[in-house]
Chain A
Amino acid sequence: MAGIDLKNVTKIYGNAVVAVDDVSLEIKDGEFMIFLGPSGCGKSTTLRMIGGLESISKGDLLIDGRRMNDVDPAQRDIAIVFQNYALYPHMTVAGNLGFGLKLRGVDRGEIDRRIRAISEMLDIGPLLERKPAQLSGGQRQRVALGRALVREPKAFLLDEPLSNLDAKLRAAMRTELIKLHQKVGTTIIHVTHDQIEAMTMGQRICIMKDGRIVQVGAPLDVYRNPVNTFVAGFLASPPMNLVPGRLDGQIGLDAVTGLAALPIPEALRPGYASHAEKSVTVGLRPEDFHLLPLAGRSAPVSVTAVAIELLGPEVILVAELGGTGGPEIQARMPRDFLARPGETLTLHYDLTQIHLFDPATGNVLVRPRIA
């Protein structure tokens, strides 16, 4: 078990391409950390630097307080589960599981004991004598996980290991991994671009973009208090609606977007006062639109339905905010909701969940945090 500490870590390829730019992050011992971001944001490169598969151009990597920049990957005692599993094709499942232990000179009996224990835990006992080519995707994934677990390393690095699985298996493996972490308690860094994985699995999310960390925090905290439009638009599905607007009025301080006006609640006004009469980007979560008013904290907004998406447990309403010609938004409605295209509806927006961003920088306008 180990804490992992990144200090101003930078990765430059060749002499021009900056893949990871001045990343500082402290991952606590036993923490389940998620690296989330779009393709090419540097999350996998950061993971590979921690594992030792990429050199670190600048900055320091500390594992358990010890500087690891120049330590061979073999000596770091860290396990990686790769996206493509990377099982050794010429070895049986048992051979794959035991490979790392054999290299470390663990004696035969102990290797057998650990392989048995892991294969029982992951339910791959009957597969031990098979070659990877004879396994299904889910079985390979479990073997790859087993190969990491059997060594009892200081930390697990998971590089999008669920992305090749079908939806059902992926959901099952998500739960398995959470349970696994509760059981072994080892530090886990899980790289993903899937925000459901990010929200459900980790204790903290580190959101990256263009090689930099954008925001780090507990999943719900990041969801409720995004620091900029990137995070707001990336987390959750459907993501936050971001519509151009203006902060209007000296006393009432309404956020105006096209034809719709949303009065800012009393508690939030002081924070926004300095921005009065300026243009803003208004962030509205799809799940904060309601069919009925909420006592004392919602305002009616008129929308024109464009389309509805029936998802089963819920309905996504695509509508124009403020009436025809307004900016298009998505709202999460109950499963029995129905609307015809062109129909005008009145929805109620939860005013405590208004987010305002600076349209020039995309950064959130600071306001009292909502827990």
Chain B
Amino acid sequence: MRVRWGSFIPHLILSAFSLAILLPLVWIVRVSLTDKLTAYKIPPEIGHVGIENYIEIFSAYPFERWFLNSLFVALASTAISLPLATAMAYAFARFNTGGIFLRLGVLASQMLPPIILVLPLFTLFFTTGLMQTHLGLILAHLTISLPFLAWMLVSFFEGDSASLEEAARIDGATRWQAFILIAVPVAAPGILAAGLLGFILSWNEFLFALVLSGADTQTLPVGLASMETHAGVEIAPLAAATVLSLLPVFVLLPFLRKYLIKGLSLGALK
């Protein structure tokens, strides 16, 4: 059989990329199922396989608290930022609110290194009593996700959606009804995708959580980092905790892919 180089070479390159992404994950899963000694052996050994590490992270570390804190902060910050970002993006797209300067200003806030925001936030939260609270961390995460999501959503309200709203206004809808009943449902795939990205953004956030959270409000990334103790890195439980912390993202991934494809709005206009 003739080898079809045309499709073979791209597959080879893509396989290499996939391996580069997958191997660390496979490695972490392997380490999470073994003990510290086996984990470090080169060449790698299978050795003892068990779920002791998964048990240990719940008994020796407050893993469930980290997890719940992360879940709460990520859900809450997304729930607050998504409607605000949607309204903001709509205002940018439909009314050109603030002109190009406000749009660029929002983008510019994304270009600041987060560390620049941490100190003022620390002082602010310290004086207002928001330090080490969930609310403080949620507000801090809003400073990241709100501009990002708003910027991302602007394009979903530009183009088609404007003429659909005009049709709705002629049909008897007020501006608000046209926004809620037409613009938002039509942009729903984009809004959902933005929401999922906002969730992941908050879920993975480390710097703000490190500085602004306390023992009771620590999130997963901070918790995982704390497993690196003066006695060395607890590599095996750390791997187990990492595997569990990846789960929500894996659960969300299929939805993200589905909604990023803007299939829903096809066929509205000619």
Q: Which residues of A contact B (CB under 8 A)?
A: 51-53, 72-74, 78-80, 82-90, 99-100, 103-104, 131-135, 137, 140, 147, 151, 164
Partner of B169, one of A53, A132, A133, A137: A53
Task: Report A-chain residues with C-beta under 8 Å of the C-beta of B171.
Answer: 74, 79, 99-100, 103, 147, 151
25 inter-chain pairs at a CB distance below 8 angstroms, sorted by A residue, are A73-B169, A74-B170, A74-B171, A74-B172, A74-B173, A74-B174, A79-B171, A82-B163, A82-B166, A82-B167, A84-B270, A86-B163, A86-B164, A86-B167, A88-B182, A88-B185, A88-B268, A89-B264, A89-B265, A89-B267, A103-B177, A132-B267, A133-B266, A140-B267, A151-B172
The answer to whether A51 touches B170, judged by C-beta atoms less than 8 angstroms apart, is yes
The answer to whether B163 touches A131, judged by C-beta atoms less than 8 angstroms apart, is no
Q: How many A-B residue pairs have CB under 8 A?
A: 88
**CB-CB contacts of B179-199 with A at 8 A, as 1s and 0s?**
001100110100000000000
**CB-CB contacts of B143-179 with A at 8 A, as 1s and 0s?**
0000000000000000000011011111111100100
Q: In the complex, what residue of chain B is closest to A51 when comparing beta carbons?
A: B170
Q: B24 to nearest A CB, angstroms?
A: 40
A140 to B269, CA, bound (A): 9
A16 to B13, CA, bound (A): 57
Task: Report A-chain residues with C-beta under 8 Å of the C-beta of B170.
Answer: 51-53, 73-74, 78-80
The answer to whether B166 touches A87, judged by C-beta atoms less than 8 angstroms apart, is no
Q: In the complex, what residue of chain B is closest to A105 when comparing beta carbons?
A: B172
Q: A50 to nearest B CB, angstroms?
A: 11
The answer to whether A104 touches B172, judged by C-beta atoms less than 8 angstroms apart, is yes
A90 to B266, CA, bound (A): 10
Whether A80 touches B167, Cβ cut-off 8 Å, given contacts A86-B269, A90-B264, is yes
A14 to B188, CA, bound (A): 33
The answer to whether A90 touches B174, judged by C-beta atoms less than 8 angstroms apart, is no
The answer to whether B267 touches A133, judged by C-beta atoms less than 8 angstroms apart, is yes
Task: Report B-chain residues with C-beta under 8 Å of the C-beta of A82.
Answer: 163, 166-167
Q: Which residues of B contact A (CB under 8 A)?
A: 163-164, 166-174, 177, 181-182, 185-186, 188, 264-270
Point out which of B185, B264, B265, B267 has the most chain A C-beta atoms below 10 A from its C-beta.
B267
Q: B247 to nearest A CB, angstroms?
A: 31
Q: In the complex, what residue of chain B is closest to A83 when comparing beta carbons?
A: B270
A131 to B169, CA, bound (A): 21
The answer to whether A88 touches B167, judged by C-beta atoms less than 8 angstroms apart, is yes
Whether A90 touches B185, Cβ cut-off 8 Å, given contacts A74-B174, A82-B167, is yes
A135 to B267, CA, bound (A): 8
Q: In the complex, what residue of chain A is closest to B173 when comparing beta carbons?
A: A103
The answer to whether A74 touches B266, judged by C-beta atoms less than 8 angstroms apart, is no
Q: In the complex, what residue of chain B is closest to A91 when comparing beta carbons?
A: B185
A79 to B172, CA, bound (A): 9
A184 to B174, CA, bound (A): 28
Task: Report B-chain residues with C-beta under 8 Å of the C-beta of A89.
Answer: 164, 186, 264-268
Partner of B172, one of A84, A103, A131, A137: A103
Q: In the complex, what residue of chain A is closest to B269 when comparing beta carbons?
A: A84
The answer to whether A74 touches B269, judged by C-beta atoms less than 8 angstroms apart, is no
16 further interface pairs, Cβ-Cβ under 8 Å (given A51-B170, A53-B170, A131-B267):
A72-B169, A74-B171, A74-B172, A78-B170, A80-B167, A85-B268, A86-B166, A87-B269, A88-B164, A88-B182, A90-B186, A90-B264, A103-B172, A147-B167, A151-B171, A151-B172
Point out which of B169, B170, B266, B270 has the most chain A C-beta atoms below 10 A from its C-beta.
B170
Q: Which 5 A-B pairs have the closest CB atoms?
A: A133-B267, A89-B268, A100-B171, A86-B167, A84-B269
Task: Report A-chain residues with C-beta under 8 Å of the C-beta of B172.
Answer: 74, 100, 103-104, 151
Q: B180 to nearest A CB, angstroms?
A: 12
A72 to B182, CA, bound (A): 18
Partner of A132, one of B168, B174, B185, B268: B268
Point out which of A53, A104, A135 has the most chain B C-beta atoms below 10 A from its C-beta.
A53
Point out which of A51, A133, A151 has the most chain B C-beta atoms below 10 A from its C-beta.
A133
The answer to whether B269 touches A85, judged by C-beta atoms less than 8 angstroms apart, is yes
Task: Report B-chain residues with C-beta under 8 Å of the C-beta of A53.
Answer: 166, 169-170
The answer to whether A88 touches B168, judged by C-beta atoms less than 8 angstroms apart, is yes
Task: Report A-chain residues with C-beta under 8 Å of the C-beta of B268.
Answer: 85-89, 132-133
Q: In the complex, what residue of chain B is closest to A76 when comparing beta carbons?
A: B170
Q: B161 to nearest A CB, angstroms?
A: 10
Q: A109 to nearest B CB, angstroms?
A: 19
A250 to B108, CA, bound (A): 80
Partner of B163, one of A51, A78, A84: A84
